[in-house]
Structure 1
Amino acid sequence: MTTGRPHGSGGGTGHPAEHELEDMSQEQLARLASELDDVEVVHNTRKFPVPGTRAEKRAERTVATWFILSALSGLAFIVAFIAWPHEYVSPFEPGHTLYSLYTPVIGFTFGFAVLALGIAVISYVKKFFPDEVSVQQRHDGPSDEVARKTVVAQLVQAGKDTTIGRRSMIKRSAGAAAGLFGIGLGIAAIAPLVRNPWKGGDQAALWVTPWRPVNGETVYLRTDTGVLGEIARIRPEDMAPGSMQTVFPFRESERGDKEALLHAQRASDTPVMLIRLRPGTQVVKRPGQEDFNYGDYYAFSKICTHLGCPTSLYQAQDNRILCPCHQSQFLATEYAKPIFGPATRPLPQLPITVNDEGYFVARSDFIEAVGPAFWERRP
């Protein structure tokens, strides 16, 4: 048998013949792979030369324990992600403590599963991989066919050298940890797709917001005073030219109802910026939305159409609406269309008017979805 180095890998030209490769053992193929790679094994000593010693079993139990802890933590993550109460509960209501612990619990269980899995793998490498010192010459060029065939044998032999094949406890615990961790990742990825967001047709949660009319009741524009039960509805004279206020929906049926009032302020699709332009400002209106404003007053959703951040900044000097997260800019004088940054869709405009009492009211809900740009506009 010849065991010269392959052309382009070690400079030699000798190769074993095809029939010689078929007759070689796994160990011989692994040794050949090293020679073909121009690797010289200077030192190789197993951590436990004598199998079955107490020290070896103790090391095996230690590694398996970390895999088991990772598996248990992964299982706890799955259970908490699915079953832990995650719907918002007011600080003044029963169940708020459980709700507030949702994020810490799933964060800790997921993080500990990753940590324990990493510790288990590192422990196995440190405790069972043989102490080896090898020297390999560096060569340019791709490996030849013989090298590609023998590398598999080399990997198999490495598995034998680390004695993973006869360690059932570690294999079972590692499989459980990796399996449960993978299931947890899968659930976290698929869970948002389980609920059909389009269920309900035109009244689906993705289409409607708390600004929609319900039973013909008037929806006022109110500002947040910092006191939940204090209702401050907006009149045109409350705003100076070039100013902006953040407003929320309010119905008289919600007066005194803390839960409804809190929901109106906490819902992700309710914040609206009410802007009063300076008199005489030239405005370009979006087709089909020519009557959505009331004089110099325009109402746009505060939810950026890029990734949903709050567009909380308004520059009266140039009538630009700014999103501080990713620097998108929208022009209030041109139906809040994006003029800079990653956003590609105008901010949805809320149709408004003033009722007989002199208060701003919403004429209807938004006619398009509020939120990031992957939402399609309603036809």
Structure 2
Amino acid sequence: MSAEGPEPPSEAELAEMDRDQLLKLGGERDGVEIVDYPQPWPVKGTRAEKRAERRVALWFALSAIFGLAFVVVMAWPHWWEYKDPSDPSHTVYSLYTPALGVSLGLAVLCLGIGVIMYTKKFVPSETTVQQRTDGPSAEVDRATIVAHLSDAGDRSTIARRSLIKRTAGAGAGALGLAVAALPVASFIKDPWKDSDNENGLWHTGWQPRYPGEKIYMRRNTGNLEEEVEKGVTLVRAEDLDAGAMETVFPYRNSEKGDHEALAAALTRVDNPVMLIRLRPTDAARVVKRKGQEDFNFGDYYAYTKICSHVGCPTSLYEQRTNRILCPCHQSQFDALHYAKPIFGPATRPLAQLPITVDDEGFLVARGDFIEAIGPAFWERKS
């Protein structure tokens, strides 16, 4: 503010001035000329004014409703459990993320529209001309700017518009509650609850559903209808050449001819496994992980395709270097050293599936992974 203009009043004179006098003094000291300063609603209590107030309140109320809807969607128990695509309720489950985005987005949008409408309808649009200069603000300048702000608040009539204040508070409060619910939601899911079945966080589709159940390694031929009619293609020990890799999926005899079950085995995200047959010279240099020394079958090793970083598919295998690569963030894993990470952001080895060959020569899983696959979470031991 400018230090030029009329001589500033004394502290005693300043204390006795009312707001209008301070407004005038502040304008004079700042060299401000008010060209136009109309009241948004010169006649108070008109139908148009009340209609505008209700419209603004409506947008704030909608913001509150959508903010609360976001919290309800996030906390609704139906979302907490994964639904397989073959499950009739999968369609509703698949709407979880869109419902979160739409409800939160509409809460923010409605709150913003309400603020803009209130500004246009009730905040005075003054036209002034001011000569600006640099320098620190004096005490008198600070007092006059407070008067200007107070006057702007009164002229906007916010003090007497309780409907707008209540709905704006509700909208902002609901939106704040929605934002606060985001970190709280991470405490809702209990990874230990019902975790003994294949749908828990600790297990995959390779877990036997009853003692002694045989789970074969199955190819994805890309022709599901033919697999339903003629049967799936299982992997034998002699099918892969030395240095080759193939993605395999679990198959149970109980799934024979079952279109939904066969499709679900291919689409379940934690099912894909990289089956690698090492070259004999490379197999002789393998370093096995403690407690998993017998997880391989000869030159065959099976690792999950779910990267331990953020869950991307580690779909690349470099035969010459025996490295498993994740294309998302360039993590690399050494297939000769229990698939431990040697480059990139991943910090844990890929989980290894214990495998063997049955009496008919088919490669089968000896059981599920002994650790949770994919990205880490708080309850993991590693």
Q: TM-score range by the shorter chain?
A: 0.7 to 0.9
Find the counterpart in structure 2 of residue 218 from structure 1: 214
CA positional deviation for 1:65? 2.3
> Is residue 2:348 matched to residue 1:345?
yes
CA contact (8 A) 1:275 1:299 kept: yes
Deviates more, 1:303-312 or 1:46-55: 46-55
The corresponding residue for 1:318 is 321
Partners of 1:331 and 1:339 within 8 A in 2? yes
TM-aligned CA distance change 1:285 to 1:56, over 3 Å? same
> Between the two proteins, what is the percent identity of the paired residues?
56
The answer to whether residue 355 in structure 2 is matched with residue 359 in structure 1 is no
1:368 aligns to 2:363 (yes or no): no
Which string of whole-angstrom CA distances, capped at 9 and with x for unpartnered residues, describes residues 86-105 of structure 1?
A: 553646x6556545555444
Alignment of 1:67-86 (within 5 A): 67-83=60-76, 86=79
Q: Distance in 2 between matches of 1:368 and 1:168?
A: 58
Distance (Å, rounded) in 1 between the aligned partners of 2:337 and 2:96: 42
**TM alignment of 1:16-55, pairs within 5 A:** 40=32, 42-43=34-35, 44-55=37-48
User: d(CA) in 2 for partners of 1:201 and 1:145?
Assistant: 67
TM-score by length of 2: 0.78
For the 8 Å contact 2:195–2:201, the answer to whether it is kept is no
For residues 129-278 of structure 1, the aligned pairs below 5 Å read: 129-133=123-127, 135=130, 137=132, 139=134, 155-199=149-193, 205-213=200-208, 214-226=210-222, 227=224, 229=228, 230-278=231-279
Distance (whole Å) between structure 1 residues aligned to residue 233 and residue 154 of structure 2: 75
In 1, the alpha carbon distance for the partners of 2:350 and 2:51 equals 63
How far apart are 1:85 and its partner, in Å? 5.7
Shift of 1:34: 8.3
* Unaligned stretches of 5+ residues in structure 1: none
1:221/1:157 Cα in 2 relative to 1: closer, same or farther (>3 Å)?
farther
Q: What amino acid is aligned across from residue 349 of structure 1 in structure 2?
A: Q
Unaligned runs of 5+ in 2: none
- Shift of the 296–170 alpha-carbon distance from structure 1 to 2, 3 Å rule, reads same
User: Which range moves more in the overlay, 239-248 or 198-207?
Assistant: 198-207
Report if aligned partners of 1:344, 1:373 keep a CA contact under 8 Å in 2: no
User: May I ask how many residue pairs the two structures share in their alignment?
Assistant: 368
Amino acid at match of 2:240: M
CA-to-aligned-CA distance 1:4-54 (integer Å, 9 cap, x gap)? x7xxx9699x98888777766567778888899x68464543322332233
For residues 257 and 132 of structure 2, what CA distance do their matches in structure 1 show? 80
Separation in structure 1 between the aligned mates of residue 63 and residue 192 of structure 2, nearest angstrom: 37
Amino acid at match of 1:301: T
Pick aligned residue for 1:60 from 53, 60, 68: 53
Contact 1:301 1:370 in 2 (8 A): yes
